[in-house]
């Protein structure tokens, strides 16, 4: 398994042998506040990097979630439908959104490392 990588839109990606698990960053979750609803995509659809794949609604606002890589969504975390608040509790691990079978592994190179992401959000 590789390290966490981050998009400028605050999605994280973890590659495991060509399957990328995707979620939102701790920073994004903190900006959203208490999450009350999540709209997830269907499985077995093709997505392009940068394409909207989900929506997260909180008591403050709604925010789009974008695919950090291109490929086919092979798994969706349906547990979030019943417990969207899990996103507030563990956004960078168990509260993942989708798993994408990558079509272009080179796209991971365009994502930020943890250190680059920390600089990006100004921590």
10-residue mean pLDDT series, the chain (123 residues): 85 96 96 96 97 96 96 98 96 96 96 95 80
Token pair belonging to 26: 């701790």
As a whole number, the mean pLDDT across the chain is 95
Q: Maximum Cα–Cα distance for the chain, whole Å?
A: 37
Whichever domain contains 63, its CATH number is: 2.40.50.100
**Beta strand ranges found along 25-106 (DSSP E):** 35-39, 46-47, 52-58, 62-66, 71-76, 98-102
- Domain span holding position 39: 5-121
Confidence at residue 3, expressed as pLDDT on a 0 to 100 scale: 84
Would you call 23 helix, strand, or coil by DSSP?
strand
User: What are the residue ranges of helices labelled H in 1-123?
Assistant: 26-32, 79-82, 86-89, 114-121
Would you call 77 helix, strand, or coil by DSSP?
coil
Cα dihedral 25→69→108→12 (10° resolution)? 10
Confidence at residue 123, expressed as pLDDT on a 0 to 100 scale: 59
Task: Tell me 44's DSSP state.
Answer: S
Confidence at residue 1, expressed as pLDDT on a 0 to 100 scale: 42
- The total number of structural domains that make up the chain: 1
């Amino acid at each position: 398994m590789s390290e966490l990588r981050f998009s400028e839109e605050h999605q994280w990606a973890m590659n495991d042998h060509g399957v990328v698990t995707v979620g939102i960053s701790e920073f994004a979750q903190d900006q959203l506040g208490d999450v009350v609803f999540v709209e997830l995509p269907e499985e077995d659809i093709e997505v392009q990097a940068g394409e909207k794949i989900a929506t997260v609604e909180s008591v403050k606002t709604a925010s789009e979630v974008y695919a950090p890589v291109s490929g086919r969504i092979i798994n969706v975390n349906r547990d979030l439908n019943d417990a969207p608040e899990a996103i507030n509790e563990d956004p960078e691990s168990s509260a993942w959104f989708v798993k994408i079978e990558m079509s272009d592994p080179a796209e991971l190179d365009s994502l930020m490392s943890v250190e680059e992401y920390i600089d990006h959000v100004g921590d």
